[in-house]
A = this chain, B = another copy of it.
Amino acid sequence: METLRERKKQRTRDALLRSALELFTTRGYEGTTVDDIADAVDVSQRTFFRYFAGKEEAALTLQEMTVAHFIELVRERPPQEAPMVALRRAVLEGWGTLNDVVEAIVPVELYLRMYRVIESTPVLLAAHLRRSDEVEEEIARVLAAREGLDVDADPRPRLAVAVFSGVMRVTGRQWSTGEDFSVEAIRELTARYLEQVGPALTGNWRRA
């Protein structure tokens, strides 16, 4: 943070983001107008749009941070690990370091509340799923590169990532509708659900 200008900009952006999240998690996403957010920070509506491409972007900023972090973790996985192992470890490590990533901006509690707002707001959920879709493609390319494959010729990287991503989505939803919102809870759930993929696909579900 060198110049005064930059610091001021950063403060404005932080204030906008914090006000937006606070309003979204109390009044709801649809119940909050961009004017509300701008007014809360005492800037013009136009200024809000200079910091965020849209209302959605503000709502998904925290998610984007954790997603970027997760992608980094996948990239840093030792190349000898099998793909699914690398993904699994990256995710588990990601949950472990969630606090460090988020807390620098807002309390983790706000992140969790916002997560539920996203899941329960159709337009936000849609945007979130689309972003996840993009992330899948990115990770598929990372894995393909690790394994020396061509993503367009060999379907396995995209398939593996799609499967993994599906499990993560189911896990996240189960967690967000459950009672234990601790990081431990989702870590455990993640590990457990990943183990259930095999049985879910091959097993005869009727014999307990």
Binding site for B on A (CB under 8 A): 82-84, 122, 125-127, 129-130, 133, 147-149, 154-160, 162-163, 165-167, 169-170, 174, 192-193, 196-201, 203-206
- Contact across chains for B155 and A83 when beta carbons are under 8 A apart: no
- Contact across chains for A162 and B169 when beta carbons are under 8 A apart: yes
- Contact across chains for B206 and A148 when beta carbons are under 8 A apart: yes
Option from B84, B126, B170, B201 in Cβ contact (under 8 Å) with A130:
B126
What are 26 contact pairs spanning A and B, CB under 8 A? A82-B204, A125-B130, A125-B133, A126-B127, A126-B130, A129-B129, A129-B130, A133-B169, A147-B206, A149-B205, A155-B174, A155-B200, A156-B203, A156-B205, A158-B170, A159-B170, A159-B193, A159-B196, A159-B197, A162-B166, A162-B167, A163-B163, A163-B201, A165-B166, A197-B201, A198-B201
> Complex formed: what's the CA distance from A35 to B181 in Å?
47
Which residue from chain B places its CB closest to the CB of A144 in the assembled complex?
B205
A198 surroundings in chain B (CB, below 8 A): 201
> Complex formed: what's the CA distance from A141 to B82 in Å?
33
Given contacts A125-B133, A127-B126, contact A170 B174 (CB under 8 A): no
